[in-house]
Structure 1
């Protein structure tokens, strides 16, 4: 029989197998269409047929088979050569057996349509259930036999379907960081609603119509100055496109520089992908392939852009994706990785003919330069459509003035006067009109005429006047502090966070919303979160008004936020802040309380270290504030540190916490007079790194597992050891932190951030499991050994630079020379090869060993090379001459390195002086971290000690049992590393 499969290049190919020797496969049950529409055997052999209607069946069956873990599938139309009469006759006789031997059977109903339809079609047209009941497939003679033949029954099919749905829901939920549909609704409501008169002009615009109807016009760039109404224009365009059946799907994203959720390139791709997958779940397969390995970190780690870019590219080239429109508003407010986003958009507009793009931005030359490289693009300049914009602004003015006249009871004469003034001075700027009307709402009707002429026509002049107005208020100090705090915050803050961070606001906590309203020309309050009314408002405060809102400099505001954060963290946080009832409860099972005690401190917990660093603290000896600053930092780590880590875990911000401690450590290490403080922070850093995986999952285990399984000399352990009362563990536990900084979980050729433990890159070099890796001295390349070959990868792009082939067996060790010009590889084929990294040729190989070679390492000057097999040899790295042989237990050698002066070899077996004939006595061994019926029901499972069935103590991987014994209140554990530890539990542990 013949089976179909997708090869490594993405093409559908066909393979032949003898009866009884076929691999597991899926099989398709379907109805035939016209011969000219079906993909035949010859089409597959010749690589044709993608344009035929029947190719959809092949695509469907391929996707379903992949989801079920099957490489192969069978479809009669193209697996049987109908032109061969003998083969056709044999196939008919074998048909039932082929269906019976299939792992599963899929049904493709070509005459049942289930895509989303417009409302009118839903009401007037046939529903899918009626089409299903009348499908031609039910009238086929083979239908019953095909369904009952495969071994996968209905019950298993439903179980598989349920699992697939659950995995899909998890994937889509984690992909969603922000729902662009909700953002659109929020923006429209914040700006007073969407009026047809504000955007209808663009529907008849020649440039817009060219983009809409010309198949070669793929990208429309709408550009204009701040306040010209670009965002609301796009809101209107989106609404109109969604009514247009020319596009099957519409996905959009609104960038906002003041909101860290939606001001970066990764967020843009996540938002667009989320909308596409939500509308067409079949597309989720492109995300799920990688999500199943990485989970939510796929979308959040430092490698997220590269991963999402590749996934998005696959989605845009998916044959099932119909005509699609993608909209990205305010590219100028994408402040993180904008060049990457522009490059991606420019390339994709030429690559996907069925996908059209609309983007908007200010008139920035750098954006124009990037988009110029896009093919099939057109530009719509709002400045060049001034007449149309003026009409739209006029409609906006009429609406706003009518509302004012109604609410403030203007006379017809006053209403006309306000209308004329706004029309004469608006300069076609929606934002100017909105801000002036916002101010007029606060002015008594009798004073409107007098105040009206005080509003300057220029937007920046208007901002200047508003700052002056705020400065004249009785609450000026409080308002200016609020503006300063909002301007330097790293994300929009909530009302409760504002109260804790601004000292002046805390004094007037009951009036905080009124105070924010006084700043209404710059800030707006939406669902308890404070936003800037427009990016231009924040830009103005940070530049032209900086001297007024930062009289002592922005650094002073950062310092104030840091100190207030320390105060509120100290006074709010405590052990078990959510009053959880189980010590082993997982984060995924914790619900945020209705009255969240962390609500007011979430911002402080995440960003206190950033504000400390941005305050540019003066550590000089003559700085009077230095002792206070150091005392504040020390107090935090000695009194509140574990409570803060618990809060990070509950807020799912552990990685940000690691980065925060790293920043503070680097800051304090620069001050040589603060050695003790630096030691404390370094220990705190090691603590959070070492226990990161536990902290992220089980917040309350910080106080038991975190303390008990830290070194006995750990400063943090000894400060907080009273939190683990009731436990006593006797173990081989190290005296101090090991040389192993942290365990990085989840491997497959990855580069990790040494500070936060996040995955930075995953190399896609088509490798088997990597057996050895080595960085080049300059850190730009990575050598990876896999199977019989060695590949050199580019650290920055993740791409393959070179492949070295020559070994006949697997390669357990590789090492760069200090100058990076040579690479040594040790192999199980009993040879050591030295490669020229420029030419990829290997130099004359060293003398063969009698056994496999396990290790290689260069000396610091690059002149010598050490290798270990049944004996250890030192070689001249240039001539290949053996300089020295070291006898002894070399078969136990697992790691080796030269000392910095090249006089010694340091290994897990000890320190050897070069020139000696035997292995010396081990000394200064570097341990890399891999050291190795009752009153109550105490049990041990793989990861936990349980009391009365409740998880009480999480066990780190290096302490987990290969054998164990429990007697009374003691648990004895023998580990896979050959060590034993004993845990004694007193009666107070595990009781509520």
Structure 2
């Protein structure tokens, strides 16, 4: 059996490491023997893409489109334009009472001109044909002549390709309007289309209306004339998508700020989206939003329909991406000078988290996205200036809170109000803020430390003793080998298990990512970093630094920079961060 996997626009995948990991995993398909598998990938030649393919072991075929002879490109675009315009002519002529187009419309000269305007961008030809054939506009011949008006500018390079692609579509929207009407229309256009092109993932018009707090009819009115550049489904709950990422690039190009009526201030609308996400979450989130009632109810036991009913698409989007939009809104140039948006004590973000942090983490758990909160909190820390002492300390505490209880919050959403709080240190800022959320049936809580200790994470997943641990060369991953004959690879920042390798012998395992050491202390790599363990103490250099209680004593350990990973006989892996200046 032969199967072909098609991956389109791999460069649009978020995260350089994710891109390289995808290429590496797909390359491993050559080892399959039960099926014949081919993978077809399209992408811009961005650096992570090139690096990912450079690391592939074995043969693969590649083709750079910009290296294809222009005659081949011209032939393909000409064939497409001829076919599309013939279909437009036939469809127009089949609809009375339209004035019929000649059977040879639009003629060889026009097809040649459109082809030359398009080379080498197929998206130009596709957009032009969608615009010419738009049934909601005037007759196709009039729209064709409007597109052809841009041939001189394109040929003389006074107008770049993206302008020539999209201005014929957009300029029609303001034609015949007076200055006041045009200004009002452009504001409404930006308020709707700006967020659409900046969304991290597409939303339906219904969800957009809820997220942006704009009437659904107003959104649909704006989109009515944009079928040439946006994929607008007839179903109200289906997502609105860009036909091509170049439309976004055309609208937000900072060099066109003063010359393009339709220019969109990327920073402004990221801020708009961040603000609206936070407002929507404040209105919607609450404790036990899915009505689970039982604090130990597992996420795996909750029906997806229940989750979707409690957390509609726009709320799910806000949970996952409000920090992304806040981060993207941090810098811009206005009035000729840089403006940066930083978080401050008592601002809306601070206020939201002091009242809805646990509700947000519960929602992320229901969505299976708790691990991502660590990276989001790191972004918030980076957005906090040094003098915002209160909010900065709160964010650091949130990070420790999530890291220490991530595994149980991920499994049982309501444990964010129970175990996560009860076992946090007495001096935890998060525990203090949400003391009232602790379960009332816990009459006497456990004895806990006053503050967070050096253990930043406990990773659980092995069913037997961990006998080897190792860091990847960049210290971003931790590998642990166990007597359960598996090697697990963990994200050192989030604690997520990214891969489980089965069939490990327990003595030695090598891959292009990690090498796992086993057993005796002489193989432990701590001497490379000056940090390690002698079995009872964590040591740095020749000095004892932290005594380990019996339950945390290692069967093995590994160090990287100021971090140590300890493999325990219980099957746990502890990750501890030590002061860098110790």
Common fold: TM-score over 0.5: yes
After superposition, the C-alpha distances for 1:733-773 in whole angstroms (9 at most, x for unaligned) are: 2222222111122465351444312357889997736xxxx
| Residue number among 130, 133, 157 corresponding to 1:438 in the alignment | 130
Where 2:452 maps in the other structure, the secondary structure is coil
Question: Is 1:646 aligned to 2:362, yes or no?
Answer: yes
> Which residue in 2 is equivalent to 1:405?
93
Which of 429, 433, 450 lines up with 1:735 in the alignment? 450
Q: Quote the residue 2:536 is aligned against.
A: 894
Equivalence for 1:255: 8
Contact 1:483 1:549 in 2 (8 A): no
Q: Cα offset for 1:540?
A: 2.6
Q: CA deviation at 1:654?
A: 1.3
Equivalent of 2:49, from 333, 338, 353? 338
Q: Deviation at 1:303?
A: 6.1
Closer, same or farther: CA 401–742 of 1 in aligned 2, 3 Å: same
User: Which secondary structure does the structure 2 equivalent of 1:743 belong to?
Assistant: strand
For these two proteins, the number of residue pairs brought into alignment is 496
Which of 177, 183, 192 is matched with 1:482 structurally? Answer: 192
8 Å CA contact 2:134, 2:227 repeated in 1 = no
Q: 1:758 to 1:604 in 2, by over 3 A?
A: same
State the partner residue of 1:758: 496
Q: Does 1:384 align with 2:95?
A: no
Deviations 1:425-462 (CA, angstroms, capped at 9, x unpaired): 32075644543343345578876655542213455313
Instruction: Report SS of the residue matched to 1:601.
Output: helix
Which is bigger in relative contact order (C-alpha 8 A, separation at least 6)? 2
> What's the C-alpha RMSD, in Å, of the aligned pairs?
4.3
2: CA distance, partners of 1:928 / 1:615: 48
Which residue of 230, 234, 241 corresponds with 1:523?
A: 230
Structure-1 separation of matches of 2:525 and 2:11: 47
Change (3 A) 1:626 1:928: farther
CA distance, structure 2, for counterparts of residue 681 and residue 549 of structure 1: 41
Partner in structure 1 of residue 280 of structure 2: 568
Shift of the 575–533 alpha-carbon distance from structure 1 to 2, 3 Å rule, reads same
In structure 1, runs of 5+ residues without a counterpart are 1-247, 268-301, 350-356, 366-379, 770-785, 826-853, 856-892, 909-925, 932-960, 962-992
Deviations along 1:653-696, whole A, 9 cap, x unmatched? Answer: 1122121012112332xx22211111111111111111101111
Once the two structures are superposed, residues 256-297 of structure 1 have per-residue CA deviations (whole angstroms, 9 ceiling, x without a partner) of: 369649x98968xxxxxxxxxxxxxxxxxxxxxxxxxxxxxx
Aligned to 2:561: none
> Where does residue 538 of structure 1 map in the other structure?
248
Residue 161 of structure 2 is aligned to residue 465 of structure 1: no
- 1:286 is aligned to none
Q: Deviation per CA, 1:317-370, whole angstroms, max 9, x where unpaired?
A: x2x445x6x2525222x8684124533678334xxxxxxx6x66631x7xxxxx
| 2:345 is aligned with 1:634 | no
| Post-superposition offset of 1:516 | 2.5
Structure 1: distance between partners of 2:30 and 2:501: 18
Q: TM-score, normalised by structure 1?
A: 0.44
| Contact kept in structure 1, 2:206 and 2:216, CA below 8 Å | no
Structure 1 residue 426 and structure 2 residue 114: aligned?
Answer: yes
Q: Alpha-carbon deviation of 1:253? A: 0.7
* Matching residue of 2:390: 676
Structure 1 residues 624 and 689 mapped into 2: Cα distance closer, same or farther (>3 Å)?
closer
| C-alpha distance in 2 between matches for 1:731 and 1:416 | 85
CA shift, 1:617, in A, is: 5.6
Partner of 1:513: 220
Q: For the residues of structure 1 that align with 2:210 and 2:497, how far apart are their CA atoms?
A: 34
Matches of 1:637 and 1:582, distance apart in 2 = 25
Contact 2:229/2:247, CA 8 A, preserved across alignment: yes
Report which of the two structures shows the higher radius of gyration computed on alpha carbons: 1
Partner of 1:492: 202
Partners of 2:26 and 2:343 lie apart in 1 by 48
Pairwise CA distance, 1:635:
0.7
How far, CA to CA, are the matches of 1:309 and 1:433 in structure 2?
Answer: 32
**Following the alignment from structure 2 to structure 1, what is the Cα–Cα distance between the partners of residues 538 and 136?**
83
Partner Cα separation in structure 2 for residue 768 and residue 508 of structure 1: 61
**1:471–1:614 distance in 2 versus 1, CA, 3 Å:** farther
